[in-house]
Every structure is written in C-alpha cells, then in structure tokens.
Amino acid sequence: MVNITLGLPFIRTSVDHGTALELAGRGEADVGSFITALNLAIKNDC
C-alpha cells in the first residue's frame, strides 16, 4: 500500500509503514514499497 498526496504543485508519495529506524545503516531495509510508490506516482503523472 502507498500514500499519495494530491493537490500539491509537486509529487508527494510515501510508503504505508513506519520509518524502520532500527534498520538504518544495517543494509536490511526492503525498498520494494518505496519503488512501488514511486512507480505509481510516475504512472499516474501525479
């Protein structure tokens, strides 16, 4: 799931989960949700 904020003069999209700071710098985070959010924004020309 992703979040898209409409009505702004720029693309604003985010994943639908927390920041997972406990994984920062450990190389364990999964970027799949971010890539999905970005691709959705590009596809829909938000």
pLDDT in tens, 4-45: 788 888 878 777 777 778 888 898 878 888 888 888 878 876
Dist. CA 41–CA 12, nearest whole Å: 8
Give the pTM: 0.55
CB atoms within 10 A of CB 1: 8
Q: 35 phi and psi, to 5 degrees?
A: -65, -40
Q: Reply yes or no on whether the pLDDT at 46 is more than 70.
A: no
CB 37 within 8 A of CB 15: yes
Helix (H, G, I), strand (E, B) or coil at 4: strand
pLDDT of residue 43: 84
Positive or negative, the CA dihedral 32, 37, 27, 21 is negative
